[in-house]
């Protein structure tokens, strides 16, 4: 993760007024806020660090407090604003501790301020951005009930009052695509039927949504995270759908060329690389001229790819769009000299002349009649020339050109077409669906076979001698190296041989003026694509050797960026944003996603006879495309569609923000990191996560909260009905030796009773039952509250822990328990079950402890030096603890501990002040 040095005035300020000792409070829950306020009110500086976008902690999620049934938010929110307005408190929300060094009186703390992508100062929390955001993810503040957008504010009174964009980085699809097409972006917009905006996103990156939607190899699909769950998203076919949809509904808006710059740019070669470069430059306003040797633009798209894969009208229209942007394409104009172009007044040149020379097989006897290079073969077919082929055709090679040649040969009437490839069908580089289609059309594949000699009689091809191969160790390309099997030679009688064993750059080509490799490819900088001649850039096959269309298109885009910088006189490497974090598999929660197969591409049948040259893949219907888009997992959450930027009237949203690093100097540290709920999926017998009407207590809090996902209506999740029988299961993930939580969580009995009482308040006629082993009503007013729940509210208390929960067809739940007062085993049906989980030390507390050199107890809580006389002192001098970080506490106890920790911290700060 990249971070830049902080330029925040407030952070550097701390060095200037170092005379005022400062404290760091880690955790902005109710205990942390109390500690921060108490320290700040004594005239010290306080940094209040919170990892989530807003302070408030768990109390902000809770509906009511026990035993007084006060509104939690009503108590909390004045504290929130007091904390955020306090002149001595600096709020570091959405931040994490990177490292801590030093000792009491002088801790140096490095903090990573995560990018919100929203300017806290400019954002007024108006929420205009929310309705336009297309990404919906489970609402973590509401405990996964309901959804929130990628741009969000956890709750209405969130402090600081600024929205946050949840962006994890680059999704796998976008990171993999050589042209960096924002795949998650356009797929997400497709979910909402915003096809025009989706297409706009594709066209940001590439001029060819329709062309690449047909011929792209789809690197993105190989890396798609959905593939680890069932099938990857059909990304390629989805942008093909977008292009087709626009075309068939005639929605394309006319393009007006905006050429407003003076510096002329020349592009050599109207192939995918050159056209892509010209497209991007013209959109930036540069006058571009593309020089093409052949009679039509398109390069190998036109001359190598057969019409049944890429109908020519699609290609022509997309090239016409490029011309509409103001690009001039001069066909039949071979270029002799790159330098000559520069002399003619072009300020920059892009060389995209491709790799147009076919490789030789390297076997004896290949220069006989009947041996045709597959690219030349395809070119002749694609330009309408006639090619004589025999009835028995062998195609050598496993690339797309070879497979295309084989399918064309079959269409031309060859009876027997065999593709001979030296590796297995796992390594074959052709697009898998093309191989499949070829097989469907009757093309045979002879894998693990290599031609060793071309047999001829009187200069005419008669057959080919082959040898069987086996796969050995991986070679430098990472593929298994094929090794001939001795004695396995055999002869195949053929009339025509199509050679598709690769292409090379023309060693006599125009690129030779630049510094080249021994393969005649240009040596270009991998990032800027600049060649040895200043102002000359190169990309596509002429740099990489023969590769795929999308790589060439990506190079064109990359070169356009460089040329723009070059012409503006900027350093070529300036402004290249450092590679963003690629979202990793473990960061995407797939646990709750039901499996769904990918959409099947409808294809024209071949059962009715031989295939012809009309298109085979027919494209998705709208409903299938929408359904396919729905499968996208939103790996990076924010898809960078940019709609929020347009919606924001205060220009507060900046997607280019990066994480910042801040260094603090503090005299004392207060740890108030709170707690996490026990993960109750460790109790499979209760069916949480499987039965929709089994929820946990924090979800219940959100359900009954007026600001929650149901606006405070207590309903069950399976059907939205009002539950008339509610059960509460106590002691789950607490007092359980077998789950390593032997201690009592202290709060569950009381919050359980409180929740039961609230259930009665919401639905007075409901039958509410609490299943318990002991009721621990240990504090002031608690026993009375328990008594009131039983007598006044009529909550039923059953002594007996629940053994298991079963679900009925109605999604009602049956709990089995032994009523220990009667020794009867009972099965009782409830509409809704609420599990009261115990509480545990929060995630990441152990890392913080390591950073501080602090002791944790065996239970994972912060250890205090003496529980009786120094209950807030940790084992590290100057570091104090409050709230639930050292043991389970209820709210009043947490706040008391916050004040206590503040007092202990200010003793140190006072000593520092007195010394100074």
Partner 1 sequence: MMSEPEHGPEKDVEYHPNSRFSQEIAAEPGGEYIRKCIQCGLCTASCMVANYTDKYRPRRIIQKILLGEREQVLASELPWLCMTCRLCEERCQEGVSLAEIFHVVRDIAAREGRVPKVFKDTVNQVLKDGWLLKDAFSDFIQDDRTDLGLNPEVNFDGEFVKKVKKRYFEQGDKEEVKDE
| Interacting residues with partner 1 (CB under 8 A) | 685, 731, 735-739, 742-743, 773-774, 799-804, 816-820, 823, 825, 857-859, 861, 867, 887
The span from the CA of 550 to the CA of 233, in Å, is 18
The span from the CA of 545 to the CA of 764, in Å, is 76
> 417 by DSSP, 3-state: which?
strand
Of 769, 771, 757, 789, nearest to 830 by C-alpha is: 769
CB of 34 to partner 1, least distance (A): 22
CB of 882 to partner 1, least distance (A): 15
Looking at beta carbons only, is 591 or 738 nearer to partner 1? 738
CB of 879 to partner 1, least distance (A): 19
CB of 795 to partner 1, least distance (A): 19
Q: Is 502 left (phi over 0), alpha (psi -120 to 50) or beta?
A: left
CB of 798 to partner 1, least distance (A): 10
Cα dist from 160 to 24, 34, 53, 151, 163, whole Å = 18, 17, 8, 15, 9
Looking at beta carbons only, is 66 or 861 nearer to partner 1? 861
**Residue 128, Cβ density class (10 Å: 0-12 exposed, 13-18 middle, ≥19 buried):** middle
The span from the CA of 594 to the CA of 741, in Å, is 32
CB of 84 to partner 1, least distance (A): 34
288 DSSP 8-state letter:
E
CB of 690 to partner 1, least distance (A): 17
Sheet holding 824-830, edge to edge: 802-807, 813-819, 824-830
CB of 680 to partner 1, least distance (A): 13
Structure tokens at 856: 């944790």
CB of 770 to partner 1, least distance (A): 14
Listed as own residue / partner, the contacts of 6-11 with beta carbons closer than 8 Å and 24 or more positions apart are: 6/113, 6/660, 6/661, 6/662, 6/663, 8/660, 8/662, 10/90, 11/662, 11/663, 11/664
Cα dist from 123 to 47, 312, 652, 659, whole Å = 22, 49, 5, 18
**Residue 388, Cβ neighbours under 10 Å: how many?**
10
Listed as own residue / partner, the contacts of 790-793 with beta carbons closer than 8 Å and 24 or more positions apart are: 793/756, 793/757, 793/760, 793/761, 793/768
Looking at beta carbons only, is 163 or 683 nearer to partner 1? 683
Looking at beta carbons only, is 317 or 859 nearer to partner 1? 859
Looking at beta carbons only, is 39 or 741 nearer to partner 1? 741
Q: Sign of dihedral through CA atoms 672, 676, 677, 683? A: negative
Looking at beta carbons only, is 274 or 800 nearer to partner 1? 800
The span from the CA of 694 to the CA of 452, in Å, is 68
Looking at beta carbons only, is 37 or 805 nearer to partner 1? 805
CB of 803 to partner 1, least distance (A): 3
Q: Considering all CA atoms of the chain, what is the largest pairwise distance in Å, rounded to the nearest integer?
A: 110
Looking at beta carbons only, is 721 or 801 nearer to partner 1? 801
885 DSSP 8-state letter:
G
CB of 816 to partner 1, least distance (A): 5
Looking at beta carbons only, is 865 or 911 nearer to partner 1? 865
Looking at beta carbons only, is 519 or 778 nearer to partner 1? 778
The span from the CA of 672 to the CA of 670, in Å, is 6
Looking at beta carbons only, is 576 or 744 nearer to partner 1? 744
Q: 348 — phi, psi (to 5°)?
A: -150, 155
Instruction: Give the CA angle between residues 123, 127, 130 to the nearest 5°.
Output: 120
Looking at beta carbons only, is 100 or 864 nearer to partner 1? 864
| Cα 204 off chain centre by | 19
Looking at beta carbons only, is 491 or 820 nearer to partner 1? 820
CB of 801 to partner 1, least distance (A): 4
CB of 192 to partner 1, least distance (A): 47
Structure tokens at 325: 């942007």
What pairs with residue 371 in β-bridges? 497
């Amino acid at each position: 993760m990249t971070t830049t040095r902080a330029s925040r005035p407030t952070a550097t300020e701390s060095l200037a007024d170092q005379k005022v000792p400062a404290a760091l409070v880690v955790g902005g829950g109710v205990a942390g806020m109390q500690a921060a306020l108490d320290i700040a009110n004594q005239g010290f500086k306080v940094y209040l660090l919170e990892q989530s976008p807003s302070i408030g902690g768990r109390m902000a999620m809770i509906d009511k407090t026990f035993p007084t049934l006060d509104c939690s938010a009503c108590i909390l929110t004045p504290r929130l604003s007091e904390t955020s307005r306090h002149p001595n408190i600096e709020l570091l929300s959405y931040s994490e501790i990177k490292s801590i060094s030093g000792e009491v009186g002088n801790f140096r703390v490095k903090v990573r301020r995560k990018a919100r992508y929203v300017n806290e100062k400019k954002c007024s929390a108006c929420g205009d951005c929310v309705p336009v955001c297309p990404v919906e993810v489970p609402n973590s503040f509401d405990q996964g009930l309901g959804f929130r957008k990628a741009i969000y504010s956890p709750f209405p009174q969130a402090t600081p009052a600024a929205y946050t964009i949840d962006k994890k980085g680059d999704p796998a699809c976008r990171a993999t695509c050589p042209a960096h097409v924002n795949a998650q972006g356009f797929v997400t917009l497709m979910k909402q039927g915003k096809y025009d905006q989706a297409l706009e996103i594709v066209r940001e990156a590439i001029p060819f949504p329709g062309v690449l939607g047909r011929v792209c190899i789809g690197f993105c699909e190989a890396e798609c995270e959905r593939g680890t769950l069932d099938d990857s998203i059909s990304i390629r076919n989805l942008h093909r759908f977008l292009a087709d949809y626009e075309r068939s509904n005639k929605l394309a808006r006319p393009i007006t060329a905006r050429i407003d710059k003076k510096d002329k740019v020349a592009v050599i070669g109207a192939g995918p690389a050159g056209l892509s470069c010209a497209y991007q430059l013209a959109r930036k306003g540069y006058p571009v001229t593309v020089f093409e040797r052949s009679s039509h633009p398109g390069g190998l798209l036109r001359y190598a790819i057969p019409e049944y894969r890429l109908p020519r009208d699609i290609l022509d229209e997309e090239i016409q769009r490029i011309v509409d942007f103001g690009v001039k394409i001069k066909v039949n104009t071979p270029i002799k000299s790159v330098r000559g172009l520069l002399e003619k007044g072009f300020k920059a040149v892009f060389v995209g002349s491709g790799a147009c020379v076919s490789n030789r097989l390297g076997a004896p006897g290949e220069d006989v009649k009947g041996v045709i290079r597959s690219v030349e073969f395809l070119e002749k077919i694609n330009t309408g020339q006639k090619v004589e082929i025999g009835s028995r055709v062998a195609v050598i090679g496993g690339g797309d050109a070879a497979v295309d040649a084989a399918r064309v040969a079959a269409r031309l009437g060859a009876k027997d077409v065999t593709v001979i490839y030296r590796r297995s069908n796992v390594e074959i580089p052709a697009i898998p669906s093309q191989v499949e289609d070829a097989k469907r059309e009757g093309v045979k594949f002879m894998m693990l076979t290599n031609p060793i000699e071309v047999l001829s009689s009187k200069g005419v091809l008669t057959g080919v001698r082959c040898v069987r191969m086996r796969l050995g160790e991986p070679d430098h390309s990472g593929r298994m190296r094929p090794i001939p099997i001795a004695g396995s030679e055999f002869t195949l009688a053929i009339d025509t041989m199509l050679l598709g064993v690769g292409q090379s750059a023309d060693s006599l080509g125009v690129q030779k003026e630049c510094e080249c490799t021994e393969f005649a490819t240009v040596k270009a900088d991998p990032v800027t694509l600049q060649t040895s001649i200043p102002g000359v850039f190169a990309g596509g096959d002429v740099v990489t050797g023969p590769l795929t269309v999308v790589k060439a298109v990506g190079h064109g885009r990359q070169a356009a960026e460089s040329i723009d910088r070059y012409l503006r006189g900027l350093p070529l490497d300036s402004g290249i944003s450092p590679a963003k974090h690629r979202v990793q598999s473990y960061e995407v929660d797939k646990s709750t996603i039901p499996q769904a197969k990918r959409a099947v591409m409808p294809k024209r049948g071949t059962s009715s006879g031989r295939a012809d040259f009309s298109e085979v893949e027919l494209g998705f219907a709208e409903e299938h495309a929408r359904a396919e888009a729905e499968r996208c997992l939103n790996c990076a959450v924010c898809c960078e569609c940019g709609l929020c930027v347009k919606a924001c009237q205060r220009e507060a949203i900046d997607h280019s923000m990066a994480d910042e690093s801040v260094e603090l100097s503090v005299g004392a540290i207060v740890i108030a990191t709170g707690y996490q709920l026990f993960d109750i999926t460790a109790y499979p017998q209760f069916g949480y996560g499987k039965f929709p009407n089994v929820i946990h207590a924090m979800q219940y809090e959100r359900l009954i909260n007026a600001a929650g996902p149901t606006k405070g209506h207590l309903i069950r999740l399976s059907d939205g009905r009002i539950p008339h029988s509610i059960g509460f299961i106590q002691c789950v993930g607490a007092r359980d030796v077998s789950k390593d939580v032997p201690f009592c969580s202290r709060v569950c009995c009381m919050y359980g009773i409180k929740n039961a009482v609230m259930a009665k308040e919401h639905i007075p006629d409901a039958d509410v039952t609490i299943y318990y082993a002991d009721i621990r009503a240990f504090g002031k007013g608690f026993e009375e509250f328990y008594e009131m729940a039983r007598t006044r509210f009529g909550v039923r208390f059953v002594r007996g822990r629940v053994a298991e929960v079963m679900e009925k067809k109605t999604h009602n739940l049956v709990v089995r328990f032994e009523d220990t007062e009667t020794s009867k085993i009972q099965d009782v049906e409830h509409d809704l079950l609420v599990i009261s989980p115990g509480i545990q030390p929060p995630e990441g507390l152990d890392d913080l402890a390591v950073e501080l050199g602090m002791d944790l107890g065996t239970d994972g809580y912060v250890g205090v030096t003496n529980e009786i006389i120094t209950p807030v002192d940790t084992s590290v001098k100057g570091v104090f603890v409050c709230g639930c970080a050292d043991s389970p506490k209820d709210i009043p106890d947490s706040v008391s501990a916050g004040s206590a920790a503040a007092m202990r911290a200010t003793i140190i700060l006072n000593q520092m002040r007195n010394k100074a």
